Structure 1
Amino acid sequence: MYERSKIVKRIATPSIALSALLATTPIAAEQYWSDTSLTYLYGDDYEVGDSDRQVLTLEYVSGYSWGKLFSFADRLESGNGDTETYIEVSPEVYLTEHSDSWVSNTSVTTTVEIGDGFTHYLYGLGVAFNAPGFDYLELDAYRRNNDGFANNYQLTATWATSFSLGNSRWLYDGFIDYASGISGVGPANLNFTSQLKLDIAPYLELKSPLYVGLEYVYWRNKFYIDGVNEHNPNLLLKWHF
């Protein structure tokens, strides 16, 4: 799922155009909800490249009668002056929906990963659960069509749970990606990324959530590089608008 690199405009342009087309089609007009957020991260324990980085993430998520769309764009600036951009677009089309079952929905799930000189396509099936204590909990299984090297498989789990401590409001969310090894490239890799966030909007009398907190990344065999294991805490500020 996560391969941050410099973006190539000739690759990004068709994907941006596709997103714009989806947003203007009649089926997309049946929109139930949407959320846009901007996140700032700072960490100094990155592996592969400079260890000191700032990340600005623009994220858009929306729900429709046919499913949902998740997308984000990362802009990274390293301490040595290097800059990178990485984009993901993930439409998900519901196959079934359930209101009175432990399974919330099943879906055909897809992702496009866009980076410097590559575009990876993922497709598979997903299951979302009505799990006590969770705002959402989902498991997706993908076939990865990789650009430039052999294809492989990926399992992705995503979750969010909100809770209160006294009068304070907290959110713990994240994802786990497990991608199988690729012959001639490297071993399987595991990316566990989670965020623990306090909503400070009530203290500032803001209507939309404003989170401060910590993101923690454990990435084993990062980018399929054997023995490169990242343990990376990041300071976090996230504003929903």
Structure 2
Amino acid sequence: MNNKWIFATLLLTPQAFAGDIIHWWDVSLSALYGENYDLAPSEKQTTLTFETAGGWKYGDWFAFQDFTYFNGSNVGKEQTTYGEITTRFSAGKIFDTKVGFGPVTDLSLALSLEEGEGPVKSFLYGIGSDIDIPYFSFFSLNLYRRSAISDDNISDGWQASPSFKIEFPVGNSSIVFDGYVDWVFAVDDANYSTGVHVNPQLKYDLGAAIMGEGNKGHLYVGIEYDYWKNKYGVEGIDQNTYSFIVKYHL
């Protein structure tokens, strides 16, 4: 799948299926600037990210597309793109019954496509779960089997991916702490190292603070933290950095 199709999916998914099928949806645009990035043409990067998330009759979805610009590239490569599409088919929704146990409120078939420039294209499939944890707006955990698609991609293995959101009220506004972890805990090829990518965001609802509660949930400012042990499966490359972020939800 070409990047333009991922981008089109971000923009058209809610409109294409609007009505009783779509229960909720969100589209956002983020601008980020950070430094000290490893295995990149420049350690300084500016990224524009389009995201969409939503729930529908038979499950949910999340997709994003990154457009990354290398500030001061020393190898002639000035930009790159990367995107993911993840969809889950909920057993609870499909069979119209409660599926779960203890704090687990639902189980799903989880599918994900990773796509970008270079040998990064992979298809992931596995089991997703929604977990009820006090004070969390949501917490989900997907357990995947990784299957490389592009040539020279040796990332086949197993991956666990939790994602979460917590919101704290602050005066007439709020602080949101959300993000994900991708933990590749087993691999098929000894030349590809296991690793973990931790990518949370801490954001302040600036729109609500300066324009009133009617603008709550639209304009955020904050910091995105990025820790990636054995980045791209390369042993000993441990990225540890952060970016400033401005995010707007439509």
Q: TM-score range by the shorter chain?
A: 0.7 to 0.9
Shift of 1:186: 2.1
Shift of 1:103: 1.9
8 A contact 1:60–1:70 mirrored in 2: yes
User: Corresponding residue for 2:171?
Assistant: 166
Shift of 1:185: 2.8
Q: Is 1:80 matched up with 2:72?
A: yes
User: Corresponding residue for 1:103?
Assistant: 104
CA distance, structure 2, for counterparts of residue 176 and residue 235 of structure 1? 19
Alignment gaps of 5+ in structure 2: none
**What is the Cα-based RMSD across aligned positions, in Å?**
2.5
| Partner-residue secondary structure (3-state), 1:223 | helix
Which residue, out of 133, 136, 155, partners 1:134? 136
Which residue, out of 17, 34, 39, partners 1:43? 34
| Partner-residue secondary structure (3-state), 1:96 | helix
Identity level (%):
26
Q: Is 1:93 matched up with 2:89?
A: yes
User: Corresponding residue for 2:116?
Assistant: 115
Q: Is 1:218 matched up with 2:222?
A: no
- Which segment is superposed worse, 193-202 or 158-167? 158-167
- Which segment is superposed worse, 195-204 or 112-121? 112-121
Change beyond 3 A, Cα 1:231–1:67:
same
User: Corresponding residue for 1:196?
Assistant: 202
Shift of 1:131: 1.1
User: Corresponding residue for 1:52?
Assistant: 44
| Partner-residue secondary structure (3-state), 2:39 | coil
| Partner-residue secondary structure (3-state), 2:192 | coil
CA distance, structure 1, for counterparts of residue 170 and residue 8 of structure 2? 44
Shift of 1:238: 0.5
Shift of 1:236: 0.8
User: Corresponding residue for 2:59?
Assistant: 67
Shift of 1:117: 4.9
TM-score for the superposition, normalised by structure 1: 0.86
CA distance, structure 2, for counterparts of residue 213 and residue 17 of structure 1? 27
